[in-house]
Every structure is written in C-alpha cells, then in structure tokens.
Amino acid sequence: MANAGPVRIAVLGAGPVGLEAALYARACGLPVAVYERGQVGDHLLRWGHARLFTPFGWNASPLGLRALLRERPARDLPAEADLLTGRQFREAYLVRLAESETLLESMHVGCEVLHVGRTAAGKPDDRRPFRLLVRGTNGAERIDQADIVLDCTGTYGTPNWLGDGGIPAVGERAARPHSAFGLEDILGDRKDHYAGRSVVLIGDGYTAAATICALAALAEEHPAAWAFWLTRGPRGQPLPRLANDPLKERDRLAAKANALATRCDGNLEFHPQTVIDEVVCHGPDKGFRVAGRSNGKPVAWEVERVIGAVGSRPDDSIRSGLRKDEPGYYVLGAKAGGSGFLLRDGLDQVRKAFAALTGNPRLDLYGNKAA
C-alpha cells in the first residue's frame, strides 16, 4: 500500500453502517478515521420519531455489542426483540458506540467530505493514496489522506425528484425548499404545520404508508384537513403484502395504508396511475399547484402542503474524479443497498469489503452470525 505502515481507512458517514465498518477496521487492527458531516446517526435522527420494523437484535452487531459490554459489562442495552424508534436506537447504540473507547479517537463529527480523488502519479494507480477534501467543524477546508475509502454516506440526504421519469417536474426545483421529503413527524414536531391543511402526498412505499396513516389520524382531530394521495402504481392496493412477512409491524402498516386507500375515508382521496408534470410553489406558505396526468387525463390540485415520499438516491458527486470501479473505494450501506435495504444486509457488505481489502477471503469477524 501507499505508506509503509498499515492501510489507513477513511469511513465517510457515521450512520449505522459507517460505524460498523469502523468497528471492523479496529477489530482488524487498522487505523480508521470516520467523517460525519452532521451528528452521529444523522439520517436516523431525521426520521427518528418512527419505529424501526426490525428488532434491536437485527440492527446491532456482535462487534458493536462486544465493544459496549467490554467497556461496561453491566450496561443496560435493549433486548433483542425490542422494536425501537430511530431516535432510541441512535441513543442506545450508535451514540454510545461513537463515544466508546474503541471508536472515540477515530471520530471526526461535524466534518464533511466534499470530494475524493487520488494523489498525482508517481506510483501504480491503485497504490496512490486517496486525497479527501474535508470541511471541518470551523468551516475551514483541509486535505486528509487514506489508502482505502469506505463510502457509507447513505441516500436520505438526496430525495428523488417527483416528476414523471424521475426528473424534476416543472417548477419543482424552485418549490423544493418549501416542500417536505421523507418521513415527516406529522403527529409530533410538525403537527402545527399540517393540522387542518390540504396536503398532496406523492409515493407508494412504506414512508408514504406511514405518512398517510399519520395524516388520517390528524384529520380526526382537525376535520378541515384533506389529503390527496398520488401514486404511479395500478388501481387497487398501493402497498404490496409480503406472504408471511416476518416483520409484523411492516405488514400491519401496509394493511392499514391499503385500507385507507381503498376505503378513501378519513378525509382522503387516493389517485393511483398518476404521474406528476408540475409542482409550482406560490411563495413561502402560500400553497402549491400540483398538476399531472391520471390514467392519461390531465389532473391538478391546489393545496397548502406537498410531501414527497418517493425514495432517495445515491449522490456520487463526492467521487466524481474517480472511476466507477476505483480500486480501494467501496460503497457500503443504504447507498449500495437499493430499496428494501435492511441494516443486517450491511453486516454482510462490511464483512465482504474487509475480506477484499485485506486480501483474506476467509476473514469473517462475525463467525456464523453474519456469514
């Protein structure tokens, strides 16, 4: 590798997978620096009011639990079967890991990695260290170096566009700062923002399902409220029901959202087979015009709020100077996982990345649990 010592690993993002990758590096005896632009578990914090579908035992790893218990054997940890909210999981597990003796000195919280490239020639391509342009907590930029980069920056920070074909609808780019994306805390922090309002909700995944259930519950207290739920999919039930879904809460949510859509009660209209052409904001807190086509026919709504629950995508601008298959640059976690990614898939990604980067295909620090 580039320097004479052990390979230096840079982990981008201190979400659950970034922290797991850092634990794995430490367990291999490798120096690691974790860069986090916000707070530890920042994306989980944004939807932290919601409960995870997966129990704590699926979300925590043997390395993580060992690191926490080694430090304080009597530590109070959630039970394996506990279904925690995002916030609870972050506090009970992620924050404690970041503050543990194992990781504390590796953490660079409040430091954003802006770009990653390779140092100039002089050595074979894959032996040239990576150069990371980092913006530190004081706003000043600096260059750090690493031999291996593990990009665990997730996708929640870059929501998909609402327009037909996955591109911005007309007016959407200007409307974006005034619209909401992802999982809003409709019955909590954001209650006042939505109470008694007309809302267009776009999307047909579990985030949209949780949102429509919350809007329907809020409408019971505030009868003036009205929600228009727009999805691209066919008529009938918007959420798929997995046969014998092992995640009972996920299935319960799908059933509840489907019932709301098909009954269309709770001050709700469901419009399947609808694509969006236009999202125009009339000004801060002045409402929106949302227009498109439903079953080929033009449709339009004037509403006070817009919520996009259409998923999110990887932002690759950070590595724009590198080849797609750059040796030594690994993309892990939700950013590599696609829709339906679960945290326990991340364990396997981490194990495989370290087997590859250490050149030891048999390396498996999880034993039987994750193999």
The b/e string for 76-109 (b: 16+ C-beta within 10 A; e otherwise) is ebbeeeebbebbbbbbbbbbbbbebebbeebbbe
Nearest one of 208, 207, 227, 217 to 187, comparing CA atoms: 217
Q: What is the footprint of ligand FAD within residues 6-25 (CB under 6 A)?
A: 12-18
Q: Are 287 and 175 a contacting pair, CB within 8 Å?
A: no
CB-CB contact of 270 with 232 (8 Å): no
Q: Beta partners for 198?
A: 226
Choosing from 9, 24, 36, 118, the residue that interacts with ligand FAD (CB under 6 A) is 36
Residue 163 found at the interface with ligand FAD (CB under 6 A) = no
Distance CA 108, CA 38 (A): 10
Q: Does 44 bind ligand FAD (CB under 6 A)?
A: yes
Distance in Å, CB of 64 to ligand FAD, minimum: 13
Report the alpha-carbon angle 140-141-146, nearest 5.
135
# chain residues binding ligand FAD, by CB under 6 A: 35
Which one, 32 or 281, has the nearer CB to ligand FAD? Answer: 32
Of 2, 152, 202, 307, which lies in the binding site for ligand FAD, with binding defined by CB under 6 A? 152
Verify binding: residue 42, ligand FAD, rule CB under 6 A.
yes
Q: Of residues 31, 38, 117, 136, which one binds ligand FAD by CB under 6 A?
A: 38
DSSP per position, 292-324: EEETTEEEEEEESEEEE-S-B----GGGTTS-T
Could you tell me which stretch among 35-43, 125-133, 212-220, 354-362 binds ligand FAD (CB under 6 A)? Answer: 35-43
Q: Does 151 bind ligand FAD (CB under 6 A)?
A: no
Closest approach of ligand FAD to the CB of residue 129, in Å: 18
**Of 68 and 281, which has the nearer Cβ to ligand FAD?**
68
User: Of the ranges 63-71, 147-155, 195-203, 277-285, which one interacts with ligand FAD (CB under 6 A)?
Assistant: 147-155
**102/198 with CB nearer ligand FAD:** 102
Of residues 295 through 354, those in contact with ligand FAD by CB under 6 A are: 318, 333-334, 341-343
Using the CB atoms, write b or e for 142-166: b if 16+ within 10 Å: eebebbbbbbbbbbbbebbbbbeee
Residues 45, 290: Cα–Cα separation, whole Å? 29
CB under 6 A: which stretch of 33-41, 66-74, 137-145, 296-304 binds ligand FAD?
33-41
| Helix or strand run (H / E) with residue 88 | helix 86-89
User: Applying CB under 6 A, which residues contact ligand FAD?
Assistant: 12-18, 35-38, 42-44, 47, 50, 52-54, 59, 112-113, 152-154, 156-157, 183, 207, 318, 333-334, 341-343
